[in-house]
Amino acid sequence: MLAPALMVQGTASNVGKSLLVTALCRLFRQEGLRVLPFKSQNMALNSCVTPDGGEIGRAQAVQAEAAGVPPSVDMNPILLKPEGNRTSQVVVLGKAIGTMAAAQYHAYKPELRGVIAGCLRRLREQCDLLVIEGAGSPAEINLKDHEIVNMHVARAADARVLLVGDIDRGGVFASFVGTMELLDPEERALVGGFLVNKFRGDPELLRPGLEFLTNRTGVPVVGVLPFLPRVRGADEDSLSLESRRGRRASPGELDIAVVRLPRISNYDDVVPLEHEPGVVVRFVEHPRELDGADLVVLPGSKSTVSDLDWLRRSGLVDQIEARAARKEPILAICGGYQMLGESIEDPTAIESPQPSTPGLGLLPLRTRFEAPKITAQVRARCASPTFLTDQLDVGAEVRGYEIHMGRVEATAEAGRPIFEITERNGTRARAPEGCIARDGAVVGTLLHGLFENEGVRASLLAHLRRRRGLPALPPSPVPSRDQEYDRLAAALREHVDVTAIRRIAGLP
């Protein structure tokens, strides 16, 4: 017998669908159900690696964690990773199958419908409730004939829909009514409830609007969720970065500047730092914004050569090179790490039409792009002290994950590895990882997720505070991800009619 399914769709992108699915996964897990998340197609540059080495959207990995289950490729069978304005790398069931233009991908969708159906069946055989996330809006009329992520999935899973709108951006009532008007009658019949998200103020002031909404559409409003500040979730697109340019740090705070590359990927690497007391994380695009930063982070990129060219044109390279000359800390991750090397070789045009591109030369390494893509959960141990790890013992274990096609090799003895990899995807390994140069001021690594290691996070922040002459902060535990999931579930219980959601989902 197949489990019932509940689908969360939105009136637009970035209205809180991912976070709501995460909250529902935790809430129903707390009620003793085996819950699994699903999203058929994800367009995102924040991704994660499953225990068997498959690549899926980061949001579904977070939702699986909230549900208390390991992530699997069935939870996100299709991942699109934009490489340009009209092309994306296509990942199917955890493996990259190539780059496609929009028209080519649309022609491929009929085959993908079978993949989606298989995943839905397998997941529903394993759980008590499947919680499904949609994408964008179901009312994108130019895409409806070919879509494989909203109402197509609701029909395939026999799921009722919870429609979410973001009141913080304004126009939420028009968004709900407009979405319903643009749906076909059989699609409207699948919508079982509205949920208003990100409300600031007294919910009683909304009552006339909520009553109008139900009278106009015949669909009940199941709750009004308040704006929840500083929630640790998983952002899927760079829209979320617009609100994270950040204020400047005060004299007693650490200032961390993250370069917002045009094709930035896995920028959720720095999310754990955002939740530390006494730390300000800013996403920056202009040279002057690097002034005064205690740490500059050059993050991952889906288009390394293109983003390196942008870095040069923007003037940020001059600032980064001057910073390195002054021996001020720079951390480069994955694509950012590759940019700091001596060259990027791509003879078979895997990522760029340029067969060879000079790097910034701040680290003694060379990158060569080649297939297959490496996706691995990693265990490693500290090999050399750096500003990341100088408070950790040599040999201390850290965990992270790799997602890259560029192979990095040292070009000189001057660069020391930061870590030694001891395990990839559960198999023993022994390989140097990362590089240190400029008397330890420039550090690069291919490992994502390092700041999820509490020891690494604490070591970095203690080093930066000492360097600034700031006193050490007393211990102030940052909420764990587990505590954040509980917080989300508690907010649902307080502000949403859970009984109505159970009824919409078809639960007893």
- Which residue has 């029909």 as its token pair? 155
Q: What is the DSSP letter of 104?
A: H
Q: Which two tokens stand for residue 20?
A: 């709501």
Beta-strand relationship, 427-433 and 419-424: antiparallel
Q: How many residues does the chain have?
A: 508
Catalytic: 435? no
481-495 helix and 17-30 helix, angle to the nearest 10 degrees: 90
- Report d(CA 28, CA 375) in Å as an integer: 31
In this structure, what are the phi and psi dihedrals at residue 153, rounded to the nearest 5 degrees?
Answer: -70, -40
Catalytic: 463? no
- Report d(CA 126, CA 214) in Å as an integer: 35
Catalytic residue among 25, 48, 334, 382: 334
- Report d(CA 403, CA 338) in Å as an integer: 13
Beta-carbon neighbour count of residue 16 at 10 Å?
A: 23
- Report d(CA 493, CA 24) in Å as an integer: 10
Closest residue by Cα to residue 470 from 250, 284, 145: 250
Q: What is the DSSP letter of 496?
A: B
Catalytic residue among 25, 48, 152, 448: 448
Task: Give me the active site residues, please.
Answer: 334, 448
